[in-house]
Amino acid sequence: MTTTVTVTRVPLIFSGHFPKNKNGCASQSAVHFLGSSSTSSASRSSFSSSLTTTTRIRRAGFAVLASNSMAPSIVLVTGAGGRTGSIVYKKLKERSEQYVARGLVRTEESKEKIGGAEDVFVGDIRESESIVPAIQGIDSLIILTSAVPKMKPGSDPSKGRPEFYFEDGAFPEQVDWIGQKNQIDAAKAAGVKQIVLVGSMGGTNLNHPLNSLGNGNILVWKRKAEQYLADSGVPYTIIRAGGLQDKEGGVRELLVGKDDELLQTETRTIARADVAEVCIQALQYEEAQFKAFDLASKPEGTGTPANDFKALFSQVTARF
């Protein structure tokens, strides 16, 4: 919508700027006109309140003052009770000027583990209706849910490779495919602007050892969900992380690749904190949209720690 305003032309100076959203439109700015004293405050207030997030103002010879702040983006992290998801949730909370964080967890116990705040919802991603309240009204979705294999009782890793199993109802097909599909569908229906999905490297190899854990074919189902997201029409970023490590973030050079090429190198692991940071940074740059990439890092002390994420995302050319 374009709003045209006719006012008395006066030689005034434009001050401030319009905060822009990712589409380049003015974002909920309070607009005021500096003019003759005959312009009432009521008129100015009425005009200001008529602006919407996507309103473009045609300025012709009059001055506009815009506020220097824009409304924080509402971001939901699913799997917020997990080791990586909890880091993303915490980082978003720490950046309250930019983001309003929400979390989705499976149990009340998980909710309490990350602070028990009112912005943490309890729901089951396998039941589409239970996640709708958490998704309504958000701007972006970061998916960090995953099936988790458990070691069979009596397995002794010191005596060889242990055996794993998945609990009933928590197999990769149910969590990584149906659960993620439910999230994507609900987000699309709610008009979400971007979805960031964290998966795993190794999906190009059907014989990858992870697929044999509990006979779950976990990478197969993760890949199926990734393809579903890529075909959804919603702007997306698919991050296929290397081996996850519980180490400090922000101290390593990050590497992006495609089609599991990084698995053929010595650099195939990454700190959970770095994955969390890349998730959040992906919300800020158009260069990250409609892209999928593998993510790993160099060892600490080699290379240059990542700080130019726009450049990092610009290296990626693959859409899937």
Q: Enumerate the active-site residues.
A: 200
Spatial distance between the Cα atoms of 268 and 102, rounded to a whole number of angstroms = 30
Spatial distance between the Cα atoms of 85 and 167, rounded to a whole number of angstroms = 21
Among the listed residues 26, 34, 79, 83, the one whose alpha carbon sits nearest the alpha carbon of residue 249? 83
188 contact partners, CB below 8 Å, separation of at least 6: 232, 233, 234
Spatial distance between the Cα atoms of 151 and 62, rounded to a whole number of angstroms = 70
> In which residue are the tokens 């014989």 written?
207
Spatial distance between the Cα atoms of 163 and 279, rounded to a whole number of angstroms = 32
> In which residue are the tokens 């960031």 written?
196
CA triple 80-226-136, angle to 5 deg: 50
Q: Answer yes or no: are the C-beta atoms of 228 and 196 closer than 8 Å.
A: no
Beta strand pairing call for 150-151 and 164-165:
antiparallel
The alpha helices in the chain, defined as continuous H runs, are 41-49, 85-94, 108-113, 128-135, 172, 180-189, 209-212, 218-230, 272-281, 309-314
Distances (CA, A) of 70 to 95, 128, 254: 14, 32, 30
Among the listed residues 187, 70, 67, 86, the one whose alpha carbon sits nearest the alpha carbon of residue 137? 187
